[in-house]
């Protein structure tokens, strides 16, 4: 019976979001209430469980995601993203233009939310394609593959960060493993796949192509732009490496634990960006702070959805559903990593949201982790890659790509949808290989 209740809860969640078009946060709270009540929990206990789930999930994440939004806003408004793009294109040249945009998307995609990175970088893709006379998708798809992979695989993006917290995975190791898995996924779904699409050469909408750019002389330097955008990666990544190679009683091991703490790393990164991309660029503190307020207001609904997923996870745990499912799955011969990918992929196809798919899967499979002995970091990546599977008409990213690149639905399915599927499947293969290497 607990399994039936859990499945009906997931079906109800999908129906509320897809057919009634109910806000995902409201849908999560309603389903959490129903699952708890049908499991025999008293109403006050269900309410308490929902509160604990939301609070426990957001307690740490709200800091990480808030600082991440601030950093992304500063990178965009200052022109740092534009500087990175133009410099890499100039360095690589027309012949290697795809690798330039891949690297640009990856660098900008780490600190910036997908939708923000998309809107900022797509006009630059239009300009590059126009200047080089290359097909638009040949230039644009590699960059979007990078943005998509960083969104699904890597902290400090919402779903990977939230799932890492749920599974008590090390964010530094998750980031390192994620980068390793990201490289083949980006190469296959970006430069290689886009070379088969030269027959599809849409023209960008005129009103988007003429997007105003910041004058060259007003842009920050390339060194400042890249260093500031990647500062969280530098701090967290270096700490993770040092923690592996250094002895526990050495001073560098101890200090790296401080600067590699995600909270401190993100705080330091924002403080550095406030100076290098704000004050140093001639803005006063009031202007910079107003920009940060706008950044945080833009992620409010994302935070609520994450909190709602945490509520469902907590109700599944407190009502005993998770333990029951975990007991059943313990007897399964299917790899927990493959199982995680399959569930996330199924929810993604039904719901459309990678974040909802990832967080819902994490709540369902939380008890499996302790019983299976599988690395929490690899579970984050398995779920993350599954959550990107087969984006189609119920995904906002699908429509953004279609409209910005001026494609038909059929063309979008044969380009964007296939690209996302390649990213997802390649991610799974990489995770399974990593499992045998670490």
- Token reading at 239: 């700490």
pLDDT tens-digit readout, 204-218 = 766 455 455 678 888
| Mean of all residue pLDDT scores within the chain | 84
Contact by Cβ (8 Å): 390, 349: yes
Q: Average pLDDT, stretch 305-330?
A: 75
Q: Average pLDDT, stretch 292-318?
A: 82
pLDDT category at 142 given cuts 50, 70, 90 is very high
Percent residues over pLDDT 90 in the chain: 28
Most confident of 69-83, 145-159, 214-228, 422-436: 422-436
**Region of residue 168 (left: phi > 0; alpha: psi -120 to 50; beta: else):** left
Distance of CA 324 to CAs 28, 107, 220, Å?
Answer: 21, 42, 55
Measured in whole angstroms, the distance separating CA 91 from the mean position of its chain's CA atoms is: 28
C-alpha–C-alpha distance, residues 226 and 74, integer Å:
13
pLDDT category at 426 given cuts 50, 70, 90 is very high
Q: Average pLDDT, stretch 365-382?
A: 82
pLDDT reported for residue 148: 92
Assessment of whether the complete model's pTM goes beyond 0.75: no
The more confidently predicted of residues 194 and 369 is 194
C-alpha–C-alpha distance, residues 168 and 159, integer Å:
14
pLDDT reported for residue 8: 86
Distance of CA 156 to CAs 117, 262, 284, 331, 433, Å?
Answer: 14, 9, 27, 34, 24
Q: Average pLDDT, stretch 117-135?
A: 76
* DSSP 8-state assignment for residue 335: -
Which SS3 state, helix, strand or coil, does residue 124 take? helix
Most confident of 322-336, 383-397, 410-424: 410-424
């Amino acid at each position: 019976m607990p399994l039936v209740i859990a499945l009906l809860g997931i079906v109800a969640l999908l129906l509320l979001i897809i057919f009634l078009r109910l806000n995902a946060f409201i849908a999560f709270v309603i389903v959490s209430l129903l699952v708890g009540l049908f499991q025999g929990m008293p109403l006050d206990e269900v309410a308490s469980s929902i509160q604990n789930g939301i609070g426990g999930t957001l307690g740490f994440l709200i800091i990480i995601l808030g600082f991440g939004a601030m950093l992304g806003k500063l990178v965009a408004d200052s022109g740092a993203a534009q500087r990175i793009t133009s410099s890499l294109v100039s360095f690589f040249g027309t012949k290697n233009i795809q690798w330039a945009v891949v690297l640009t998307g990856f660098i900008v995609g780490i600190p910036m939310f997908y939708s923000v990175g998309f809107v900022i970088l797509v006009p630059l893709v239009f300009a590059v394609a126009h200047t080089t006379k290359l097909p638009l998708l040949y230039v644009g798809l590699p960059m979007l593959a990078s943005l998509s992979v960083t969104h699904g695989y890597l902290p400090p993006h919402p779903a990977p960060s939230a799932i890492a917290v749920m599974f008590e995975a090390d964010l530094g190791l998750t980031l390192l493993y994620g980068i390793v898995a990201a490289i083949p996924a980006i190469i296959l779904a970006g430069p290689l796949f886009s070379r088969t699409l030269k027959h599809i050469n849409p023209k960008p909408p005129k009103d988007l192509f003429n997007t105003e750019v910041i004058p060259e002389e007003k842009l920050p330097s390339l060194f400042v732009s890249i260093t500031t955008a990647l500062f969280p990666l530098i701090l967290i990544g270096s700490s993770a490496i040092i923690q592996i190679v250094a002895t526990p009683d050495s001073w560098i091991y101890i200090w790296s634990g401080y600067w590699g703490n995600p909270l401190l790393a993100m705080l330091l990164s924002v403080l550095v960006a406030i100076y290098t991309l704000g004050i140093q660029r001639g803005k006063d503190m009031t202007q910079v702070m107003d920009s940060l307020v706008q950044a945080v207001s833009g992620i409010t609904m994302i935070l609520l959805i994450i909190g709602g997923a945490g509520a469902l996870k907590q109700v599944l745990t407190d009502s005993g559903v998770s333990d029951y499912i975990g007991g059943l799955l313990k007897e399964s011969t299917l790899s927990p990593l493959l199982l995680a990918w399959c569930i996330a992929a199924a929810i993604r196809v039904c719901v459309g949201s990678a974040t909802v798919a990832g967080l819902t899967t994490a709540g369902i499979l939380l008890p499996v982790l302790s019983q299976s002995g599988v690395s929490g970091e690899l579970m984050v990546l398995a779920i993350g890659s599954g959550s990107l599977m087969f984006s189609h008409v119920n995904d906002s990213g699908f429509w953004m790509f279609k409209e910005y690149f001026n494609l038909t639905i059929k063309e979008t399915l044969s380009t964007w949808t296939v690209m996302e599927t390649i990213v997802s499947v390649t991610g799974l293969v990489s995770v399974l290989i990593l499992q045998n290497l670490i």
